[in-house]
Structure 1
Amino acid sequence: MTVVRRIARPMLAAMFIQGGLDALRHPAAKAEKAAPVVNAIAQPLGLPNDPELMVRANGAAQVAAGSLLALGRVPRLAALVLAGSLVPTTYAGHAFWTVEDPAARAQQRTHFVKNVGLLGGLLLAVVDTAGKPGLSWRARRAAKDTARATSLGRREARHAARAARREARLAASRAHDALT
């Protein structure tokens, strides 16, 4: 792991760990803001329609995934989980378009844009392969290797069949010569 990754991952994860712990400890204030989003997505996704429970679950996901990202354990998956938890959090918590007071609206817009920036960092972490080939490259490579091996196998089989036919003709010719 490079020095940049070793430093940047915990820096990125710190906000989620802190926010997740706060959501676990004090879900009531966040549940009030989350209620409209939870009510809208609970039934279609088969989730319980309990805003406080959903806030706690989101907080637990952020603490777990943030810790994994900070430690460099399954960082791509951890970043994906954090990105997934950040979208509803941002939509519910920083809906600046619903705020009437200009100062409060500006503050919520700033938090919204900050979260969009965090989402961008998480998406970069999701696709960061740390210099190793990604899954799509490995899948394409495996397919190419399989096609090459199949082609080689067919070529070798044709070669072996030709050699066997030659051998059979030669043996038949010898047998014919021995009889005559």
Structure 2
Amino acid sequence: MVRRVARPMLAAMFVVGGLDQLKHPGAKAKAARPVLDQAAKVGLPDDPELLVRANGVAMVGGGALLATGRVPRIASTVLAGALVPTTLAAHPFWNESDPQVRAQQKVQFLKNLGLLGGLLLAAVDTDGKPSLAYRARLAGESAQRTARTTRREAKHAAKAARREARLKAAQAQNALT
């Protein structure tokens, strides 16, 4: 029940923020320029508005998926990836000289850091079900147990067959004498 309530609450900020990035990319592109200059070094396009809109799409899509409980782990990971550049671009409190603006930016930065923590928790939440890695390990162990059991039973069957063959041979020998 908690997941059903908490996921939409966590996702709401991303859906609203992503829609804003889609509708008004200009102002955000200007603020994001220093971060986008770094992104250009890794081969991303040099179109700030396009990148802001792409980030907005990731936020709206990931937020909608998280809110509805569809692939919440993937959605949380996508949102975490979208939140990092948004936070660095929108709230660089370390660059502010005005103490009041610096304090406001720091609060917003820490708010986003808290959201990132929530997303990381959602990304590793298996919803009460064992993780894929655990299930794979369990299947591997089960296959190993099955192989050991099969080998042991084959050994017992071979031993019983040899015993039966000796018994039949002895019976045939006794019938001849």
Q: What is the TM-score normalised by the length of structure 2?
A: 0.91
Specify the alignment match of 2:60 in structure 1: 63
What pairs up with 1:107-122 in 2 under 5 angstroms?
107-122=104-119
* Paired-residue identity, %: 64
Report what 2:133 is aligned to: 136
Which residue pairs with 1:14 in the alignment? 12
Q: CA deviation at 1:42?
A: 3.3
Q: What residue ranges of structure 1 are gaps of 5+ in the alignment?
A: none
1:84-103 residue pairs with structure 2 within 5 A? 84-103=81-100
Q: Which runs of 4+ in 1 moved over 6 A?
A: none
> Larger deviation: 139-148 or 7-16?
139-148
2-structure distance, mates of 1:94, 1:50: 21
Ranges in structure 2 where 5+ consecutive residues have no aligned partner = none
Corresponding residue for residue 74 of structure 2: 77
Q: Under a length normalisation based on structure 1, what TM-score does the superposition of the two structures give?
A: 0.90
Computed over aligned residues only, the root mean square deviation of the Cα atoms, in angstroms, reads 1.7
SS of the residue aligned with 2:14? Answer: helix
**Amino acid in structure 1 at the alignment position of 2:81:** G
Q: Distance in 2 between matches of 1:156 and 1:32?
A: 72
CA distance in 2, matches of 1:90, 1:115: 6
Q: CA offsets per residue over residues 58-108 of structure 1, 9 Å max, x none?
A: 100100110111111111111111111111111121111111221111111
Distance 2:166 2:123 in 1: 62
Query: Match of 2:32?
Result: 34
